[in-house]
Amino acid sequence: METISTNRSFSGTQGVYKHASSATGTEMTFSVFVPDHAPGAKLPVLWYLSGLTCTHANVTEKGEFRAACTDAGIIFVAPDTSPRGEGVPDDPEGAYDFGLGAGFYVNATQAPFSTHYHMRDYIETELPALIAAQFPADMDRQGITGHSMGGHGALTISLRNPGRFRSTSAFAPIVSPLNCPWGHKALGGYLGEDRAAWTDYDACALIDGGARLPDLLVDQGEADSFLAEQLKTHLLREACDRAGQRATIRMQPGYDHSYYFISTFMAEHVRWHAGRLKG
């Protein structure tokens, strides 16, 4: 692991790091905020997965999470959204919703993406092992959140790994890639046309299939231009209602899809996670 930068902020250290990933076969960059803590103490971890076109830098620079994380004593980890570098394939037409910056947190099975696009393995296995080895992280106390494509990642990763995350939340998540254009393009391109292979990456399908979370918090802006066609928050609400899944799904009037929205509710999400990560 190589340190790219560290900065003092809100009585903690904001770092940016990179390492050679065996999952993706590329260098991967991620950020970690560690609040000041007693020597030898282990702190709970909150994962944040970013959305389409983003890197670790978007939330690190605009998320406004550090004060709340220091108050709660929580480590905040923000990975990148896809492999990058020379030889990593991109959307052949240069579109923003597939390829670089749009890994969708899947393990791709279709060439040429199957060589590098193993974001599921990277987030579920490789990066947690690195965080546990290099930072004062209590891996028995983990929460996960994310935005848009990252909200999809947070929901599906948590649903597929029962017991790993004590808390799960999301900002404007893609709740059902099986039922939106972004999902059709990404899952079809990475996994092929067999829709049965897509269900592991669809929160609503996982809930319908019996997966459960201890609790769930979702915030969605009512003025989000992607709400009707891509995000379809009502499908998650309906799936939770059918399954009896405990969930707080809040529609926020006037808010859009941007970090103005995310940063408004970020501290509240951190506090919500903190209440479930204590002890």
- Is 257 marked active-site? yes
Among 31, 50, 82, 148, the active-site one is 148
Q: Which residues contact 169 (CB under 8 A, 6 or more apart)?
A: 143, 144, 145, 154, 216, 217, 218, 219, 269, 272, 273
The C-alpha atoms of residue 51 and residue 232 are separated, in whole angstroms, by 16
Among 56, 116, 152, 257, the active-site one is 257
Among 80, 200, 219, 224, the active-site one is 224
Q: 137 pairs with which residues across the strands?
A: 43
The C-alpha atoms of residue 170 and residue 147 are separated, in whole angstroms, by 6
The C-alpha atoms of residue 87 and residue 42 are separated, in whole angstroms, by 39
Residue 206: both structure tokens together? 């996982």
- Is 224 marked active-site? yes
- Is 19 marked active-site? no
Q: Which residues are the active-site residues?
A: 148, 224, 257
